[in-house]
Structure 1
Amino acid sequence: MGVIKKLLLIGVVVGIGAVIYPLVVTPQHKLPELKDKWFGKTPLKSGEAFPKESVAIDKFVVNVSEDVLTDLKRRLESARYVEPIAGTAFNYGFNSDYLKKVIAYWRNTYDWRKTETILNQFPQFKTRIHGIDVHFIHVKPSKPAKTVVPLLITHGWPGSVWEYYKAIPLLIEPTNGVAFEVIVPSIPGYGFSEAPHQEGFNIMETARIFVKLMNRLNHKTFFVHGEDWGSIVSKTMAQLYPNNVRGMHITMAQLVYDGPTIAKMMLGSYFPALVFDDPERDHKKLFPFLDQFYMILRESGYFHLQATKPDTVGAALMDSPVGLAAYILEKFSTWTEPKWLNKADGGLTQKFTLDELLTNIMIYWVSNNVASSMRYYKENAGLLMDDMNKIPVLVPSAVADFPNELGHAPKALLRTTLPNLVQYTDMPRGGHFAAFEEPQLVCDDIKTFVATVLDIELSAKDKLKNTKQ
């Protein structure tokens, strides 16, 4: 037998073992011990007791001072630009020929005061938790509904709560007697939430603060949804607080690259039918491997920078609105559709308007929070690779997989970490900024998932009732 055939046979045997192993053995992963941590401006001294905080919830209105807008206009008018290489479109990053047009629109046409009215259409609040002010949108159903379901939504980077302004009206409208009470917080360090002043504010601390926020709103149990970091925060909440989270819906599922998963991937690369639910479709999500690898390599340079030296690039982006726009808007191009890097305008206005895109930029600019938003990568870099990521989510879970998402996790490879995966949807279109791009698709998928979980809960109650009788 040749060497290649031997290696192939070994791969098949290992792969089959990897498929069977998770079915008969459940890995045990210990949950981390959770303690309150202080992120206020004044650090606690060694041994100092955790301060007692007010639980007050204060109304918040977006109202930026005229001085900030005047300063912004001055900076936009005095901007300097990179000289682009002819014919390169977005292959070198944000093309300056188009950037000049975006900045001209920002300077001469975009109306922030009009945007403030739009931002303030939903009730917004702030409350102090662990030493920092947490901003959140809180919208109740538009009409009376038989069942009102609390739903906590978490955004990601380089997004903000603005990504969900088209989705919120769809969620609060009753469907088959069910409507959502929607809570959308700004992750501390993003948007209108205060930035943490101490080290260590990661996804676990975010989860802890958000559970406290929901408890403060009198919601002991609730559903969670997230995209990008929001997907990871939602997963972390479900892992750490399964008694609070009734169900988890995410658009960016993470693969856990442990031995069994890698072996399954190896087996699936040669024999898709032995691993995947839909062999042809699911195989394309991961292979050809080099194509996927090169795409991630091209799109993830920002990650390494922000996970190591966020304050360096943060200094540049906090000082230059043009730099901030180029840095962030480039993500809304290739993360929405990878092929748009070959378009002179990055394809930006094919899914979004310039007003929509600039509003997200403005939230970063007027809050002065871009550097703290990037620190989130440094605080979390290690957690994404440790055992925390391997703790299974036991609550009912749903994954909406969008075709242009940066990475994909086929259903067959998620069963170890999401053993209670009750819904997996292959979306017909859309990319990384799912709710911003395709709000109807996202909201319909959330509604379907929640309806399924409500039926499961009702069935469980009926069984318990019958057992007692």
Structure 2
Amino acid sequence: MVGVGFVMQQQLQLKKEEDKMLKNNVLYRLAFPSNHPIPLRTNGWFGKKTLNKNENPPKDDVEIRPFTIDIDQSTLDDLKHRLKDTKLTESLDGTNFRYGFNSKTLEDIIEYWQNSYDWLHWQKELNTNCPQFKTQIEGIDIHFIHIRPEKPTGVVLPLLMIHGWPSSPFEFHKTFPLLTDGSTGGLSFEVIAPSIPGFGFSEAPHKEGFHCVAAARIFVKLMHRLGFSRFFVHGGDWGSFISKTIALMYPESVRGIHTTLHFIPNRKVLISESQRLMFTQLEAIRKNWYLEGGYSHIQATKPDTVGVALGDSPAGLAAYILEKFSSGLDINNVYKLDGGLFNGNRLTLDELLTNVMIYWFSHNVTSSLRFYRENLFPGSGAMFKFNLTAAKVSSMVPAAYAVFPNEIVRPPKFVIEMSYGNLIQYTELPRGGHFSALEEPQLLVDDIKRFARVVVSRL
């Protein structure tokens, strides 16, 4: 009997372990979301002032102020000097981008940056074609682009567009004229594209706790301040998760959500062999994430340390950011000498450098890295605390998902359906990767408009 009892005890322990593993399984958590509560609609404070216990924060200045990018000559001269004094380490023969950014390619980029790239041209382009504004929300200035159709015809819908890292609203600049054009199909958008606080020209939060939930709350406040009680929202990268959080917390404000990335945690999947075949690609992505995701672990734990180096060296900043563009365009770019940045992609070196310049001039790179810690730090990060990946969006919110072939994650349709109660569009597109708005703006805009037409037609 003692032997039988021991076996039964062992079996019970094994069952507990299996149950624990099952509940850590991505499919289980997607199909049966935990009871983590949807974040409360509280207010936050991220301004400089330190509040005493029970002290109410100062009232925000609700004025919408025009904003113009104006980088002075001394800052441009300082950049030139720093580029001139760059110290490069020779890359190993034949490694291309497998060890990181290739020094020969970086040398070519620095030469172009110093002698051919024209920031003043791009500054004028942004100021002329992308009307920009700032307003204070929860103690910090929020920068945003706001573009209305020049000749509105038919239906005009408000659209909130949210970028990710290492990006900025500049990522969407090719889509703006396409989105605001209603000459075909009778539908266009009034576009609002904010910089996530701590990114681009938005003020960096001065307090801990600025994560997806805080960003979602602030962006809804921005839209309401602009007079939009209901709106469409699109996001890629972090923008996808902020968009989903908005739909979770404020379903009555979201007329439709369109995203291009869905995060699947790196956990062992316990499923049948027939189901495993459907996850072959996802298993490969887990391997690629091990090879490509080191930056995420650094940023989710000690962002300020690497931020010192990136904020002090423009060449280092470019290498760090553009390496992510290289792999985001195509994971196989690691085998190319130029990392796929010069040949065979739809981005110009000018566009890539303009994105880097926005990080350099705003001096916000460290605060942008902190967003990873606030969301992904084990246990306390918002993605874990609020179970944002597995939480299911209400069926009252129409949803669409666009799958680009070179995106870092390509979830099957049934996985997306587990997170959105009303998925009405799932599109597999023929080209493009992680930075779809820059790579394939027409494909992205067509998919957003197709989704919006379906939503509007159902009313």
SS at match of 1:136: strand
Partner of 1:396: 398
Residues 285 and 410, structure 1, Cα contact 8 Å, conserved in 2: no
Residues 311 and 360, structure 2, Cα contact 8 Å, conserved in 1: yes
How far, CA to CA, are the matches of 2:316 and 2:322 in structure 1?
10
What amino acid maps onto 2:348 in structure 1? T
Partner of 1:453: 455
Partner of 1:153: 161
| Cα gap change, 1:245 to 1:257, in 2 (>3 Å) | farther
User: 1:271-321: per-residue Cα shift (whole Å, max 9, x none)?
Assistant: 14xx9xxx7xx54532xx2x3222111110000000111000000000000
Partner of 1:294: 287
Structure 1 window deviating more from structure 2 (26-35 vs 329-338): it is 26-35
| Cα gap change, 1:52 to 1:96, in 2 (>3 Å) | same
Correspondences of 1:100-119 after superposition (within 5 Å): 100-119=107-126
- CA RMSD for the aligned pairs? 2.3
What amino acid maps onto 1:93 in structure 2? G
Residues 180 and 191, structure 2, Cα contact 8 Å, conserved in 1: yes
How far, CA to CA, are the matches of 1:21 and 1:160 in structure 2?
31
SS at match of 1:47: coil
Partner of 1:77: 84
Residues 30 and 419, structure 2, Cα contact 8 Å, conserved in 1: no
How far, CA to CA, are the matches of 1:21 and 1:77 in structure 2?
52
How far, CA to CA, are the matches of 1:225 and 1:75 in structure 2?
37
Partner of 2:49: 42
User: 1:183-235: per-residue Cα shift (whole Å, max 9, x none)?
Assistant: 00000000000000111111111011000100110000000000000000000
User: 1:139-166: per-residue Cα shift (whole Å, max 9, x none)?
Assistant: 0113222211000000000011111000
- CA shift at 1:455, angstroms? 1.5
What amino acid maps onto 1:105 in structure 2? Y
Partner of 2:6: none
Structure 1 window deviating more from structure 2 (412-421 vs 72-81): it is 412-421
How far, CA to CA, are the matches of 1:184 and 1:271 in structure 2?
42
How far, CA to CA, are the matches of 1:28 and 1:320 in structure 2?
45
| Cα gap change, 1:386 to 1:257, in 2 (>3 Å) | farther
Partner of 1:343: 336
User: 1:89-139: per-residue Cα shift (whole Å, max 9, x none)?
Assistant: 011100001100000000011011111011112211000011100000000
How far, CA to CA, are the matches of 2:242 and 2:82 in structure 1?
35
| 2:225 is the alignment partner of 1:216 | yes
Q: Report sequence identity in percent.
A: 50
Residues 255 and 413, structure 1, Cα contact 8 Å, conserved in 2: no
What amino acid maps onto 2:49 in structure 1? T
- CA shift at 1:50, angstroms? 2.2
- CA shift at 1:29, angstroms? 4.8
How far, CA to CA, are the matches of 1:71 and 1:19 in structure 2?
51
Partner of 1:285: 281
| 2:423 is the alignment partner of 1:421 | yes
SS at match of 1:324: helix
Residues 59 and 124, structure 1, Cα contact 8 Å, conserved in 2: yes
What amino acid maps onto 1:68 in structure 2? T
- CA shift at 1:425, angstroms? 0.8
Residues 30 and 391, structure 2, Cα contact 8 Å, conserved in 1: no
What amino acid maps onto 1:317 in structure 2? L
User: 1:165-185: per-residue Cα shift (whole Å, max 9, x none)?
Assistant: 001110000142211000000
Partner of 1:330: 323
Equivalent position to 2:353, from 358, 363, 370: 358
How far, CA to CA, are the matches of 1:19 and 1:213 in structure 2?
35
| Cα gap change, 1:197 to 1:426, in 2 (>3 Å) | same
Partner of 1:166: 174
Partner of 1:310: 303
Equivalent position to 2:106, from 90, 99, 106: 99
| Cα gap change, 1:89 to 1:27, in 2 (>3 Å) | closer
What amino acid maps onto 1:428 in structure 2? P
What amino acid maps onto 1:384 in structure 2? M
Correspondences of 1:189-200 after superposition (within 5 Å): 189-200=198-209
What amino acid maps onto 2:407 in structure 1? E
Equivalent position to 1:239, from 243, 248, 251: 248
Equivalent position to 2:196, from 187, 190, 195: 187
Partner of 1:135: 143
Residues 255 and 414, structure 1, Cα contact 8 Å, conserved in 2: no
Partner of 2:187: 178
Equivalent position to 2:407, from 401, 405, 415: 405
What amino acid maps onto 1:234 in structure 2? S
How far, CA to CA, are the matches of 1:87 and 1:311 in structure 2?
33
Partner of 2:274: 271
Q: Which runs of 5 or more structure 2 residues have no equivalent in the other structure?
A: 1-17
How far, CA to CA, are the matches of 2:104 and 2:266 in structure 1?
41
How far, CA to CA, are the matches of 2:126 and 2:288 in structure 1?
35
SS at match of 1:243: helix
- CA shift at 1:20, angstroms? 11
Equivalent position to 1:442, from 427, 441, 444: 444
| Cα gap change, 1:299 to 1:257, in 2 (>3 Å) | closer
Partner of 1:464: none
- Give the structure-2-normalised TM-score: 0.89
How far, CA to CA, are the matches of 1:285 and 1:403 in structure 2?
11
Residues 247 and 393, structure 2, Cα contact 8 Å, conserved in 1: yes
How far, CA to CA, are the matches of 1:241 and 1:222 in structure 2?
11
Equivalent position to 1:376, from 364, 371, 374: 371
How far, CA to CA, are the matches of 1:238 and 1:257 in structure 2?
24
What amino acid maps onto 1:195 in structure 2? A
- Give the structure-1-normalised TM-score: 0.87
How far, CA to CA, are the matches of 1:20 and 1:199 in structure 2?
32
User: 1:355-407: per-residue Cα shift (whole Å, max 9, x none)?
Assistant: 11000000000000100000000111122234432321121111111111112
User: 1:259-281: per-residue Cα shift (whole Å, max 9, x none)?
Assistant: 9xx44xx22xx214xx9xxx7xx
Residues 403 and 427, structure 2, Cα contact 8 Å, conserved in 1: yes
Residues 189 and 369, structure 1, Cα contact 8 Å, conserved in 2: yes
Q: Which runs of 5 or more structure 1 residues have no equivalent in the other structure?
A: 1-9, 459-469
Residues 329 and 357, structure 1, Cα contact 8 Å, conserved in 2: yes
SS at match of 1:308: coil
